[in-house]
Amino acid sequence: PKDPSGSPSVDSIKIKKEVANAFVKRQKRSSQYAEYYKAPMEQMHERCENYPPCVYLSNQIGFSMAYYRFFG
């Protein structure tokens, strides 16, 4: 159905939400936030992994005791 002006009517242009979502994807905010933020325990593990004596001691007595021994 066309208007007398020759352009298609508004009803013929509309598409269902499910069809539109199939090709238009929005980025989720939570995934962006997760890229910049690391949990404190993960930061502690990375710090210990970069210091070989901490890694060695954590294998002997456990991570938390080794971490606090070197980084207090």
**Which residues, given as ranges, of the chain have pLDDT below 70?**
1-12, 20-21, 23-35
pLDDT value at position 69? Answer: 95
pLDDT value at position 31? Answer: 56
Angstrom CA distances, 15 to 6, 7, 18, 34, 70, stand at 20, 17, 8, 34, 62
- Distance from C-alpha of 20 to C-alpha of 16, rounded to nearest angstrom: 6
pLDDT value at position 6? Answer: 61
Q: In this predicted model, what pLDDT tens digit does every residue of 38-51 receive, in sequence order? A: 889 999 999 999 99
Q: In this structure, are residues 58 and 66 in contact, taking their beta carbons and an 8 Å threshold? A: yes
Question: DSSP per residue over 31-63, as a string?
Answer: HHHHHH---HHHHHHHHHHTSHHHHHHHHHH-H
Q: State the pTM of this model.
A: 0.49
pLDDT value at position 38? Answer: 84
